[in-house]
Structure 1
Amino acid sequence: MKIRSSLVLLGSLVLSAQALARDFIYVVGSSTVYPFTTTVAEHFAKSTKFPAPKVESTGTGGGMKLFCEGVGVQHPDLENASRRIKPSEFEACRKNGVKEIVEIKIGYDGIVVAHARRSPPWNGLTLKQLWLALAKQVPDPKGGEKLIANPYKTWRQIDPSLPDLAIRVYGPPPTSGTRDAFAELALEGGCSQFPWIQALKEKDEARFKQICQTVREDGAYIEAGENDTLIVRKLEADPSALGVFGYSFLDQNLDQIAGVPINGVEPSFENIAQGSYPVSRPLYIYAKKAHVGMIPGLAEFLQEYTSEKAFGEEGYLTDKGLIPMPKEEREKYRNVARNLIPLDTL
C-alpha cells in the first residue's frame, strides 16, 4: 500500500510540475463552437488576471481524438463539440487515463442550408428533397423497393418546383460534428420519408444508417474542410451552390448569405429556440477534471462560460448566434461546471 500511495503521490507531483510548463488553457474541437469559446476567452482574459486561452478549430472528431489521448499539459484541457461525445470516444478517453470528464451543454444551434444573396431565389427544401440530392444511393424513380446510384444532376430533376441548377453543396467533412448531426437529423429525416427504408430501422439499423447517411462522391457534395467561414466564401464565389454549416455562421453573415427554409420553416433564432426548425442540435464543451488546479484559471473559465452574462437569455453569446437553453437547463449545467461533476456513463 505504501508503494502504491507513493506512486500516486509521485504521479500528482509530476502532473503539478508539468503544469508549470503551461499557464494558459488549451481548447480544441468543433468549428461551430469555436466562435462561442473564443468570445468567452476574450471576455475571460479582459476580466481576470489569467492569460487568454488558446482555442484551436480541429473539428469535433479530431478534437476528441486529441482530448482523449491523455492527461497532462501536452494534452488539451477542453473540447468543443457540436454533438455529444460518442461511447467509443468515451471509452478511448478512459483507456488513456482521462477518467473524469465534465460534460457541459452550452446551448443549441441549427444546421442551415444557405446560398449567396446574389444567387437565384430558393423558396425552400424538404428533408426528403435534400436527401435525394445528396445520398449515394436513392430509390429507383421508376418505383419499387430498389436502390440505384444517385441519378440526379440538377435540383429540378428531383422536383419541378426547384431551381434548374446543378446540385452542388459545400459542407463539412466526416470528422466534423456538424456533418454527424446533419447526417442524423437531415439525411435520416429525409430518408425516413420512404416507408420501406424506415422499416429497415427496426430490422437492420446498420443497413438503415448506411443507406440514409452515405453521401454521394461524384462531386455533388464537396467537402470544404473544418472552416465554416471558408464555406461562406465559397458561396460568394459560386452563387449557384448551397452550403451546410451552423446557424451562427448564417447569423454573422446575413449581408452575404441567406438561409433556405427546411420543411417550410425558416432557419431563425426564434424557430430554433422554439424547436420548430427541423435541423437543430445541442452544443457542448468537455473538461478534464484532472486539469483543474493544474492549469491556472480552468475552473474560473468554466464558471465564466456558464454565467448568465455569457450563455443566458440575454448573454453575450446570443449576439454570436448561440440559442440559449431554458432556465432549468442552464442552472443544471452551471451546477455541473461549478462542482465539476464528471460524466459517469453515456
Structure 2
Amino acid sequence: MIRKTIALAAFAAVAVAGAAEARDQIRIVGSSTVYPFATTVAENFGKTSSFKTPVIESTGSGGGLKLFCAGVGVEHPDIANASRRIKKSEVETCAKNGVKEITEVQIGFDGIVLANTKTAPAFNLTKGQIFQALAKEVPVDGKWVANPYSNWSQIDAKLPNEEIEVLGPPPTSGTRDAFVELVMETGCLELPACADLKKADEKKFSSVFASLREDGRFIEAGENDNLIVQKLQSNPTALGIFGFSFLDQNSDKIQGSHIEGVAPTFEDIASSKYKVSRPLFFYVKNAHVGTVPGIKEYVAEFTSEKAWGPEGYLSEKGLIPLPDAVRADAAKKANAFAPLTM
C-alpha cells in the first residue's frame, strides 16, 4: 500500500512537471497602464509570428513584480510590466528567490491625468489644490487636521461648487506610486505649512503627503482603468486618475483636467511641459529566455521601430516614445538581455 502511494505520488509529480515544462506561451503580469501597450504588441506578435499570443494579466505594478520575483520556473511569470521603476527591495526579493538576472526595458513615457466626463465643466487645478482635496490630513489655521473639505469650492472659490469625489488606483498600482510622488508630494510643498513640516519632521511629512483620504472622497477603483472611465460617464461630478493612454483612447467621452495651466496632450507630455508624467517599463526574467518559446522574439517586436517608434503603432495607443538616441540604446540593451544593475 505504501509503495502504491509513493508510486502514485511520483506519477503525479512527473505529470505536473511535464505539464509545466510544456508551457509554450509567454506569461506577462503587471501594470494596468502598460497593459494596453503590451496587449497590442502581443496581438501583433501572435498574428505575425509562429508563436502563440502571450497571456497578459493586469495586476498592478507592485502585484506584478511580486509574482515575477517569486521564483524561477514556468509556474512563475516571464515578464512584468511596470508604470514605475522596480525598487531595490524588489530586486533583492527577486535575488533571494533565485531570480538573479533581470533585463529592464524602458518603453516610453506616459502622463497621469485627472479626467471627468465631457458633459461636465473641465477642471483647471494646481497640485496644491489636488493635495488639499485628497490628503487625509491638511493644514487649517496652522494645525494639521482630518481633511474637512467636501466641495472643491471650499478649497478655492474659483473651483466648481461640486462635491469632491475622485476615483483612483489602489496601493499596488504604479500609477498610485507616481501620483503620490509627482502630485501629492509636490502639491503639499506648495503650502507653507507643509514646507515647514518637511524641515521639522521629515517622517511626518512623508506620511502626510502619501496618505490619501479614507472618508469616501477618494475611492480606490481597482486596477481596471476602463471601469473608472465607465463610472465617470455615469457620475458627472466625479474625477478619475489614470494614465494618458486611457484618456487618449476615450477622448470622445472624457476630458483631461489642466494641471498648473497645462493640458495633458501628447505634445505637452512629450516636451515635458505637462509635469505629471513618468517612464514606463517591462522586466524580463533572463532565466526564462530560451526556456519559454518566443521571449526573444516578443522583446524584438516590442522594441522595433514599427512598434515603439514615433510613427509606430503604439504611439497610436497613446505611448509617448523615448528620444531617438535613448530609444536606440534601449533597444540594443533589451535585445542583448543586458542584466539590470542598481
Fold match (TM-score > 0.5): yes
Q: What do the CA deviations read for 1:287-307 (whole angstroms, capped 9, x no partner)?
A: 011100001110111111111
Contact 2:139/2:193, CA 8 A, preserved across alignment: no
| Matched residue, 2:298 | 301
| Matched residue, 2:169 | 172
Q: Secondary structure at the residue paired with 2:241?
A: strand
Q: Secondary structure at the residue paired with 1:41?
A: helix
Contact 2:113/2:241, CA 8 A, preserved across alignment: yes
Paired letter, 2:128:
K
| Matched residue, 1:133 | 133
Q: Secondary structure at the residue paired with 1:115?
A: strand
- What is the distance in 2 between the residues matched to 1:339 and 1:260? 41
| Matched residue, 1:263 | 260
- CA shift for structure 1 position 284: 0.2
Paired letter, 1:33:
V
Check 1:205–1:308 CA distance in 2 against 1; reply closer, same or farther (3 A cut): farther
- CA shift for structure 1 position 17: 6.9
- CA shift for structure 1 position 20: 3.4
- CA shift for structure 1 position 270: 0.3
Gaps of 5+ in 2: 1-16
1:249 corresponds, among 243, 246, 251, to: 246
- CA shift for structure 1 position 198: 2.7
| Matched residue, 1:276 | 273
Q: What do the CA deviations read for 1:87-121 (whole angstroms, capped 9, x no partner)?
A: 111111011000101000000000000000112x1
What percentage of aligned pairs have identical amino acids?
58
Indicate yes or no: 2:183 matched with 1:182: no
Indicate yes or no: 2:35 matched with 1:34: yes
- What is the distance in 2 between the residues matched to 1:199 and 1:89? 33
Gaps of 5+ in 1: 1-15
Q: What do the CA deviations read for 1:184-214 (whole angstroms, capped 9, x no partner)?
A: 0011110011244235446643322211111
Paired letter, 2:166:
V
| Matched residue, 1:90 | 91
The TM-score, its normalising length taken from structure 1, stands at 0.92
Check 1:342–1:205 CA distance in 2 against 1; reply closer, same or farther (3 A cut): farther
The TM-score, its normalising length taken from structure 2, stands at 0.93
> Which stretch shows the higher mean deviation, 82-91 or 245-254?
82-91
Cα RMSD for the two superposed structures: 1.4
- What is the distance in 1 between the residues matched to 2:90 and 2:203? 19
Task: Describe how 1:68-217 pairs up with structure 2 within 5 A.
Answer: 68-119=69-120, 121-140=121-140, 142=141, 144=142, 146-201=143-198, 204-217=201-214
> Which stretch shows the higher mean deviation, 19-28 or 217-226?
19-28
Q: Secondary structure at the residue paired with 2:275?
A: coil
Q: What do the CA deviations read for 1:273-321 (whole angstroms, capped 9, x no partner)?
A: 0001011000000001110000111011111111111111111000000
Task: Describe how 1:216-231 pairs up with structure 2 within 5 A.
Answer: 216-231=213-228
| Matched residue, 1:329 | 326
| Matched residue, 1:232 | 229
Contact 1:122/1:163, CA 8 A, preserved across alignment: no
